[in-house]
Structures are given as C-alpha cells and as structure tokens.
Structure 1
C-alpha cells in the first residue's frame, strides 16, 4: 500500500485530497499544525469507513516539529511514496470585527513582517518539509512531490493586462510567495531529473473554502481531484511543470 503525506490536511482542499486518496486505497499521513484538529479530521474520515489514515502533528514553520514528524513517520514506514505540500497561508489580516484587511498585503503597504510570515509557510516551510522527507521518498519506486501553487504565482499570467486577476493588487505577498515556490519546484525537478521522481506545481483553482472566505467559484472536490491527479501520475508523466486545469482545460499546463 502506497503511503502519502499531506501537509495542512485537516481541512479544505488538503482534507478532501486525503479523503479521495483513501477512497483509492492509499495510506495517508494527515499532517496538521494543530494535532487536535488533525485527530478530529481523522475521526471524520474513519466515520466514513476510511481507516488507513493517521494524524501527524507538523508545523511546517518549525524545524523541530518537522524533524519530529519525520522521526514519527520513519518509525512507521521505510518508504514514502508521495509528498503533497499543501499547507499555505494568504497573509490577509483581520480587523476587530473579523473582516479581512486586503490593503495590508499589497506591494506598497504589505509589511515586512507579513512577507516574512507568508514566506515562512509557503516557501521555507515547503523546502523544510521536502528536504526532511526526501530520504524516505528516494526509497519509493515511483516518488512524487506535488507543490500546491496558484496561478497568481505565474509571472507570465500576472503581468498580462488581459489576465482576469491582473488588477488584484492584494496578491503581492501571496503571489510572490507562490512565484518563489514555483522556482524552487523548477530547480528541485531539475536536480531530480535523472531519477524516478516527478515534481510538479499544481494550481487547484479558485476554490470556495475558508482560505478565501468562501469567495471562490470551484468546489474542494474539484480542487482536490486536480491535486491528486499529479500525485498519482505514471512514469511517463510530466515533471518540472506548472498545471492549472481551470486556466487551461485542454492540457492543463500553464506558463511559469
């Protein structure tokens, strides 16, 4: 039975990805920054008869947490087949009434602290987790790494005046973090090009979830299916590519 680790999997797209993978017969380590939330998510899955799952406490921004998660999973298995780097934050702050303050994440007004906070999760966290679990992935016959990215991290699309999100200044922090993640993906795929690894960046689409205050247009079911598609590709599948099936329904591939 192939084993998969998903970070940030206690809710939204990560949770649905875990659910769909379990339904397909995979074993899932459900990563959650807060262990209680992870255990609650596992409880929900097991209530649906999906039992090959366990919660793993992993805060991608914390070295010790990631190292502990690696040790714990290493006690349970010698091999990890898939890593889905799903954990991410937008950097949007809230006012005293709980409403999002979008101007705090623009290129002009975004604070250095906000940039640091978002990059710590969306970029450094991904690098931290990937490097920690690379040894287990290397032992798998068909290792896969999926980076959950976003079209707003595409320099080509975001600089196109005809792009629907061109005028979304609020993406300065989040978008730049995904651009950095994309570059890391390119280099990682290149360094692993002569191996069985497949490393790709996936935009799940503009999904209605708590991540964007349920303002999206797609469902978590659709988004999760797009993510796991590239977690399960065969040896003839792509690597070092960026995909958004919402943006390009024909081939899925989009420009960096």
Structure 2
C-alpha cells in the first residue's frame, strides 16, 4: 500500500485530496495543526468507509513541530511514496503593494514557502526509499509572473502582493527541487487546484472542491511517463495544463 503525507488536510481541498487518494488505495497521513480537527476529519472519512488514515499534528511554521511529525511518521513507516505540500494561508484581502503589512507577509511566507521547504527537507529521506516518489506543491496561477503581468489575465485585477509572491517563491523552489532530483525517480510539480469555493477565499471561487482535489491527485499518482518540474493549472490551460512561470 502506497503512503502519502498531506499537510493542511483536515478540511477543504486537503481533505478532499485525502478522500480521493484513500479511494485509490493509499494510506494517508493527514497533517493538521489542530489535532482535534484532524481527528474530526478522520471520523468523517471513517463514516464513508475510508479507514486507512491517521492524523498527524504539524505546524509547518515551527521547525520542532515538523521534526516531531517526521519522527512520528518515521516510526510507523520507512517509506513515504508521496508528499503534498498543501497547507497555506492567504494573508487576507486586499493586499495593495504600498500598504501591505510586512508582518503578515512574513507569516504568509513562513507558511506557504518556508513551511513547504521545511517539510520537504524533513521527509526527503523517507521519499527517497520509494520506487516512484512524488511531490506536489500546491500553488496558484496568481504566483505566475508571466500571467500576473498580462492585463488580459482573468485574475489580473487581484492585488495579491502577499499571497502571490509567496506562491512565486514556492514555484521557484519547485523548479530547483525538480532539477536536483531529476536523475532519480522523483516527479516534482507545482499544481494550481484553481479558484475553488472554500473558506480560504470566503467561498468566492467558482470551482468545486472535488475538481480541485482531483487535479492534485492526478499529479500524486502520475506514472513514469508523467512530467516533472512543471507548473500546472487545468483551469487556465485545460488542454495540457502547462502554464508559464
């Protein structure tokens, strides 16, 4: 049975990603900052007959918490087949460049970017023991410099001077990570689940959680023929998924 660790998986897109991977036969380590919320999410999954799942407490902004989560999972498995860096925060809206709160920016970067780096570095040894390790960094088209600088881009009007840069940094890390692991069996991609209606954006998104989860799952489960080092948004490019950095 393949095993996956998903951060921020007690609700919304993270929980739906867990649900879909459970249905595909994965064992899921469900990362959650609040362990009670994680256990409540597992109770919900259990009522659906999905039982190969357990909650793991993790605060990606806290190095000790990340280390503790790594030790907890490492005591239960010597191999991790996939990592989904899903946890994230928006920083609130609006985010005008001249008045954006730098302290909030630091918190968002610590969560969206540094947190993903911490988790990846902590779990890489378990991933390296898998025959087909996969890393999915959950990103956003708002982190694309090319798209964001295009006045015709459908989300051009969003002044995300905190959230957007944090995802752009995550994208650059994805490129570097995929390049470093290219000679191994890893597939490392940044995936935009699309503008989805969740409490993350006060349910303003148009896409469904089911669709968003499926987009992430697709790149968790890709075979050897699948891409690596790509930025994927099937909302922006329904044909191939590739979008510019």
Name the TM-score, length of structure 1 as normaliser: 0.95
CA distance in 1, matches of 2:19, 2:71: 24
CA distance in 1, matches of 2:61, 2:244: 29
- 1:167 Cα deviation from its structure 2 partner: 1.7
Q: Deviations over 1:50-97 (max 9, x none)?
A: 0000000011000111000000000100000000000000001xxxxx
Unaligned runs of 5+ in 1: 93-101
Superposition map of 1:87-236 within 5 A = 87-92=87-92, 102-103=93-94, 105-169=95-159, 171-236=160-225
CA distance in 2, matches of 1:131, 1:80: 13
- 1:176 Cα deviation from its structure 2 partner: 0.5
Equivalence for 1:97:
none
Q: State the secondary structure of the residue aligned to 1:200.
A: strand
CA distance in 2, matches of 1:145, 1:190: 13
CA distance in 1, matches of 2:96, 2:39: 36
Q: State the secondary structure of the residue aligned to 2:162.
A: helix
Q: Deviations over 1:116-175 (max 9, x none)?
A: 010000000000000000000000000000000000000000000111111211x11000
CA distance in 2, matches of 1:195, 1:69: 25
CA distance in 1, matches of 2:88, 2:8: 7
Q: State the secondary structure of the residue aligned to 1:60.
A: coil
Equivalence for 2:51:
51
Q: State the secondary structure of the residue aligned to 2:161.
A: helix
Q: Deviations over 1:104-126 (max 9, x none)?
A: x2211111101101000000000
Q: State the secondary structure of the residue aligned to 1:172.
A: coil
Equivalence for 1:3:
3
2:16 matches 1:16 = yes
Q: Deviations over 1:196-237 (max 9, x none)?
A: 000000000110000000000000000000001000000111
CA distance in 2, matches of 1:250, 1:244: 10
Equivalence for 2:237:
248
Name the TM-score, length of structure 2 as normaliser: 0.99
CA distance in 2, matches of 1:165, 1:250: 19
C-alpha root-mean-square deviation of aligned residues, in Å? 0.6
Q: State the secondary structure of the residue aligned to 1:242.
A: strand
CA distance in 1, matches of 2:62, 2:44: 27
The total of aligned residue pairs comes to: 245
CA distance in 1, matches of 2:211, 2:36: 27
Unaligned runs of 5+ in 2: none
